[in-house]
Every structure is written in C-alpha cells, then in structure tokens.
C-alpha cells in the first residue's frame, strides 16, 4: 500500500479533509526522521488523537434601507491534534535540532 493509498483510506474511514490527513502524515514522517536522527526508538502506537468540532458563528448586519439587522450564521470546522501524555512529555524533553 502506498502513502497515497493510505491517506485516501484514512480520509474515507474518518471523513477528515484530505489536506488534514496529508499534514498528519507529513508531520508523522518528520517525527520519525527526528527520532532517527537522535538515534531514538521509533514507536507508532498511541501517538495522538484527532478531534473535530463544528462551531456555529452568528453575526448581524444591517442592509442599506433595512430597519432591522439580519442574522447571518456560518459554520467553522475546528480540528485538533492532541498527543497522548507520554508522547507529549517526550516531545517536551527534546530540544531543537542542531
């Protein structure tokens, strides 16, 4: 299975946008590269979790000539990537690369 096939499968199974999945794969590749350059073990299990929420935003605008403001509602998808505690603690121990 190629990386592109894996990304498409993750998109299909999770419903996340393809751009987010590509970013996660690229970040994971960077983490692995960083671990190898530091001669650390590379562990894949339990790295992080991805959360998503849809938030509703309301705004009011008054059209020219209108007496009452009109309410406009928009929606925003908010994604979060949260490393598990052990992974976050390991990242906090690292310093920037030379």
- What is the structure's pLDDT at 95? 62
Class assignment of domain 3-93? few secondary structures
What's the rounded Cα separation, in Å, for the pair 92 and 31? 13
- What is the structure's pLDDT at 45? 62
By the 8 A CB rule, do 94 and 38 touch? yes
One digit per residue, the tens of pLDDT, for the chain of length 98 reads: 888 898 998 888 888 889 988 988 898 888 777 777 777 665 556 777 666 677 888 888 777 777 778 888 888 877 777 788 887 777 777 765 55
Question: Which helix (H) or strand (E) covers residue 26, if one does?
Answer: helix 18-37
Closest CA to 12 of 23, 24, 3, 21: 21
- What is the structure's pLDDT at 40? 66
């Amino acid at each position: 299975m190629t990386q592109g096939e894996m990304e498409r499968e993750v998109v299909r199974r999770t419903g996340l946008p393809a751009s987010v999945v590509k970013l996660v794969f690229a970040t994971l590749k960077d983490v692995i590269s960083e671990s190898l350059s530091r001669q650390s073990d590379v562990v894949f299990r339990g790295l992080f979790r991805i959360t998503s929420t849809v938030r509703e935003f309301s705004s009011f605008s008054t059209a020219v000539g209108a007496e009452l403001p009109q309410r406009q509602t928009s929606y925003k998808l908010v994604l979060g990537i949260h490393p598990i505690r052990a992974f976050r603690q390991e990242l906090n121990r690292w310093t920037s690369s030379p």
